[in-house]
Amino acid sequence: MSIIVNLDVMMAKRKISLNELSEKVDITPANLSILKTGKAKAIRFSTLEVLCKELDCQPGDILEFRND
């Protein structure tokens, strides 16, 4: 079982770079990169909220559960 982070997919759909998103949501590029690559162990709802607002998407567009 695993949670897949599709932040890179949403960023590509919205044509926004990591640095640009970082500035808009006030999260360091390093922390966004950790999240984007799926290396994060947790995400705060407040972080998920600002990402969804900026990317105009739903939490399920960024996070996905796979029962492998």
Task: Check which CATH number belongs to the domain holding 54 and give it.
Answer: 1.10.260.40
Whether the predicted pLDDT of 1 surpasses 70: no
What integer is the mean pLDDT of 7-36? 96
Domain count, the chain: 1
Bridge pairing between strands 2-5 and 63-66: antiparallel
Identify the residue whose tokens are 């709802």: 45
Identify any residues that bridge with 64 across adjacent strands, giving them in sequence order: 4
pLDDT tens digits, 28-62: 999 999 999 989 999 999 999 999 999 999 999 99
Residue numbers of the domain that contains 22? 2-66
Dihedral pair phi/psi, residue 15, rounded to 5°:
55, 55
Please give the DSSP secondary-structure letter assigned to residue 41.
Answer: S
**pTM value surpassing 0.95:** no
- Per-residue confidence (pLDDT) for residue 29, from 0 to 100: 97
